[in-house]
Homo-oligomer: A and B are copies of this chain.
Amino acid sequence: MKIKVGIIGATGYAGAELVRILVSHPQVQLVALTTQSYEGKLFYDVYPHLYKYVKQECRELDLPAIVSESDIIFVALPHGHAIPVAQEALRQGKKFIDLGADFRINRREVYEQWYKVEHTAPELLEQAVYGLPEIHRNKIRSASLVGNPGCYPTSVILGLAPLLAYGLVDTDTVVADCKSGVSGAGRGLSLGAHFAEVNENFRAYNVGMHRHTPEIEQELGNLAGESMVISFTPHLTPMNRGILSTVYAKLNQEMTSEQVRSIYEEYYHSEYFVRLLPPGMLPQTKAVAGSNHCDVVPVVDPRTGRVIVISAIDNLIKGAAGQAVQNMNLMYDLPETMGLDRPGLYP
């Protein structure tokens, strides 16, 4: 019997990407797609690529009913809105994955400081699992409540994990300079996402104060075994999909690129979705666009004693919907790659 899936906030880009992936997932039946903006419209009117694939209409959010019809509920809404859904899901004994930020930060006060709102269900934070399978696979398997990582954090954490796990870098020297396509900002209208403003433009934003910072610091700190403070600067690049992160850190000792690479090889040896590229190749967003892969390459610069890690993901897939499906597969003991095992689209 197929898993009955409800998606709350299905008409944003992350939600629609969930729908696209799940209509081809052999073990899933979509039972409810809710939206605030397009109630009563056919889903394909909102997303024409899915014409003939999705026959359902967009429903309003009748929370108890939606949860009751579903085995698992995905929420793709702005922060704050997932909390009541999680509560209802747990009440009814259903599984729950939040693509937003409400269940990513372990410590309530950190969440409240960065998001400037009260967390109204702090008691749930303890059972919430940070849904980065390559780091927390076993906890995810048995979790009912998963906080799916942000797009930037996915690329930065997977890029640095081996170095921190092995204590190879000075944790005080980490700089993460990240570049994202525009779909990361969602489908909501804003001057900052207006075509003529973005096209032929490159800019930084939220310098020193992006909300993905505490999530990155929490996970990197866990890996390093000490609390960490990093510089993280997000940038907007004129393309639809993809994040490329360039992460800098001082090595604690002299190492060659080959030595660092062999540590990555060992660390990611059995990971299907993390691809350590062979020597001579560097990650680029086009090589992962349309797939659930994270491509990664560490480079040692002997002149400066720094290691520079380049990582690339599709922000809507490994950075959002694909990773959420990967988590669902783990939660249901399905092959982790089910519905996600296709290469990207190039060019």
Q: Is the CB of A187 within 8 A of B177?
A: no
User: Which residues of B lie under 8 Å from residue A248 when comparing CB positions?
Assistant: 175, 177, 231, 248
Cβ of A233 under 8 Å from chain B? yes
Residue of B nearest to A345 (CB): B290
CA distance A281 to B52 in the complex (A): 14
Q: Which of A55-63, A87-95, A100-108, A236-244 contacts B (4 or more CB under 8 A)?
A: A236-244
Q: Which of A72-80, A133-141, A196-204 contacts B (4 or more CB under 8 A)?
A: A196-204
Cβ of A284 under 8 Å from chain B? yes
Q: Is the CB of A179 within 8 A of B239?
A: no
Interface residues of A in 142-199 (CB under 8 A from B): 173, 175, 177, 179, 181-183, 187, 189-191, 193-199
Q: Is the CB of B244 within 8 A of A235?
A: yes
User: Which residues of B lie under 8 Å from residue A282 when comparing CB positions?
Assistant: 203-205, 207
Residue of B nearest to A20 (CB): B343
Indicate the member of A207, A246, A344, A347 with the most B CB atoms within 10 Å: A347
CA distance A89 to B14 in the complex (A): 47
Q: Is the CB of B194 within 8 A of A47?
A: no
A200 is contacted by which of B50, B203, B246, B286 (Cβ under 8 Å)?
B286
Residue of B nearest to A297 (CB): B207
CA distance A48 to B276 in the complex (A): 12
User: Which residues of B lie under 8 Å from residue A182 when comparing CB positions?
Assistant: 195-196, 199
A346 is contacted by which of B20, B195, B304 (Cβ under 8 Å)?
B20
User: Which residues of B lie under 8 Å from residue A231 when comparing CB positions?
Assistant: 248, 301, 304, 306, 308
A284 is contacted by which of B48, B191, B199, B346 (Cβ under 8 Å)?
B48
Q: Is the CB of A242 within 8 A of B200?
A: yes
Q: How far is the CB of A94 from chain B (nearest CB, A)?
A: 27
Q: Is the CB of B287 within 8 A of A196?
A: no
Given contacts A13-B196, A285-B202, contact A207 B299 (CB under 8 A): yes
Residue of B nearest to A277 (CB): B51
Cβ of A230 under 8 Å from chain B? yes
Q: Is the CB of A207 within 8 A of B308?
A: yes
In addition to A49-B345, A233-B308, 9 A-B residue pairs with Cβ atoms within 8 Å of each other are A47-B346, A49-B346, A51-B287, A51-B295, A199-B200, A202-B239, A238-B239, A241-B347, A345-B345
What are 30 A-B contacts with C-beta separation under 8 Å? A20-B343, A23-B343, A45-B278, A45-B280, A47-B346, A48-B295, A48-B346, A49-B344, A49-B345, A173-B173, A175-B177, A177-B233, A177-B246, A177-B248, A187-B194, A187-B197, A189-B191, A189-B194, A195-B199, A199-B238, A200-B240, A200-B289, A201-B285, A202-B239, A202-B244, A203-B283, A208-B301, A231-B308, A235-B244, A289-B345
